Structure 1
């Protein structure tokens, strides 16, 4: 494929993906399929697409934590506690991607995109439960937070974070929703505290995955760099326009994309391949 044609598709896809990530999440459902299309029949295309996508969207995941500096002041104990399972899980998941045969990851693509789509469908039902469970007590003030890790669900969340980290390193779409569900079991104060911890941990998971993908030479830098720039611009635009955009509309669009892609990849894998 001519490079200019790939850029013509990938840069707008990354721009849109960055905007979606900053507003509602789910940008991977736009950028990953675009990369698969651009790489075409390149050997190892699915693994390269996954690695390149992770690198391209990483700055957005990292910069998102800056918006929660105030909420995180009291919660660094929790971040330190959950950093270990995040890094171990993320490293293991990304290592499995580059270690296993490409055919095994390729076979998982419809299931992974389908899982991410289901997570976005369930998100509105999960959020009220997270908001209710995250406060130490029903009458807790809005800025309340248990600063020191503790509570009956502590080790359960540790193990769950290990699993979330593994999934995040392996593919990653929807890890924010998974973490909102698990972190909601802890007494972190309000939903903004939960979001702050979630964003930092997501940055750690993506960061260790980037390290593994770079070391294993799985990244197509010719595509990654312009996508990274486009996604960063998209993230800034999304954050700027977020107050004027209806998140529910964006989420419905992401879900529609996910349903179409899941259906197409299942058809491609189970019908057209025969």
Structure 2
């Protein structure tokens, strides 16, 4: 690896870690750049998820105390999302680079759209949701969300929030805590499978991980000073640009 290559990896890790600490969407930075650097698409997903997972763990630990009002529902939901994460990871590994490369523009475009309009999307879902929690349907919905989370993962937090809203969860502070806690298990089971699949580029993963941990700490320190909407639209713009580039590359 050249010094420039290492610097780019640290930089995208830092940007992704900072973004995830503030508003999410870090994968919209890191994944396209890894592919641009010549890493095969499936390896880029597995390496990126491995690199960013430590930040997910710290978020889960920090958010766990805020899940006390739904603590009794967590064992079933953890099982559901873990199973979904494994299913998504297996689907990714079975897809292969050729098929997955054709899906990349759609995945990036969909995740960018979801990220850009998640507030009105969640508000709409909340208005349409029941007044009481449906604890039976929620694990099923979260299982299907988790399949996507293990397969690609960008925007998974927004899908999890929507599932909780549809099940009757109206306390968004609690929902955010539940989301962060459960995403840790979705990605944790996926990266456990990836670790033994031979698809992870470990040197790249560790370098990006160093940048993401640093960025996560930086984001937590400056969160009071950076307008979240500015960062959200910056990430949306980056995601849109990358989406167009990949649509042209694949279908142009």
* Aligned counterparts of 1:134 and 1:21: Cα–Cα separation in 2: 27
Q: TM-score, normalised by structure 1?
A: 0.86
| CA deviation profile, 1:67-116 (whole Å, cap 9, x unmatched) | 32331223222222211221111101111111233211111100000110
* SS of residue paired to 1:207: helix
Q: 2:224 aligns with which of 234, 243, 246?
A: 243
* Aligned counterparts of 1:241 and 1:134: Cα–Cα separation in 2: 35
1:36-47 to structure 2, matched below 5 A, reads 36-38=35-37, 40=38, 45-47=40-42
Unmatched 5+ stretches in structure 1: 138-150
* SS of residue paired to 2:69: coil
Q: TM-score, normalised by structure 2?
A: 0.93
Q: Aligned residue pairs: how many?
A: 252
* Aligned counterparts of 1:270 and 1:4: Cα–Cα separation in 2: 33
* Aligned counterparts of 1:237 and 1:215: Cα–Cα separation in 2: 32
Misfit runs of 4+, over 4 Å:
129-137
* Aligned counterparts of 1:58 and 1:217: Cα–Cα separation in 2: 18
- Decide whether the 8 Å contact of 1:22 with 1:239 is kept in 2: yes
1:59-208 to structure 2, matched below 5 A, reads 59-129=54-124, 151=133, 153-188=134-169, 190-208=171-189
The answer for the alignment partner of 1:212 in structure 2 is: 193
Higher helix share: 2
* Aligned counterparts of 1:264 and 1:136: Cα–Cα separation in 2: 43
Return the offset for 1:133. Answer: 7.9
Unmatched 5+ stretches in structure 2: none
CA-atom RMSD in angstroms: 2.0
